[in-house]
Amino acid sequence: QVQLVESGGGLVQAGGSLRLSCAASTSIDSFNTMGWFRQAPGKQRELVASITNGAGTKYADSVKGRFTISRNNAENTVYLQMNSLEPEDTAVYCCEALTAWKDYWGQGTQVTVSS
């Protein structure tokens, strides 16, 4: 069973930075795409950023220029570097790993940005 474990969340002031990590229990080469989603209270879950096996990336418009997704295949880990954080970024951030047949999710990590 594939496990994804997120870490790196916390409380930060507006304008600060955090780096989230998503560590997989298997080689991330087996996933077509890995991504970070977030869900704030009372809001729908949204895709924040994704990265393919070929390292192609996509970002939500709201985080372009502030967030960077990257992957380290040797460590089986995907990262989300978040800079210039805003209170609107407050949410539970979850990692997803996608194959041709199935998707896997982590438990999530809370990010809280104070104004």
pLDDT tens by residue, 43-80: 999 999 999 998 899 999 999 999 999 999 999 999 99
What phi and psi, each to the nearest 5 degrees, are found at residue 68? -135, 125
Which region, left, alpha or beta, applies to residue 15 given φ > 0 means left and ψ of -120 to 50 means alpha? left
**pLDDT score, position 1:** 87
| Mean pLDDT score across all residues of the chain | 96
- What pLDDT was estimated at residue 54? 87
Residue 74, SS3 per DSSP: helix
Band (pLDDT 50/70/90 cuts) for residue 35 is very high
What letter would DSSP give residue 42? T
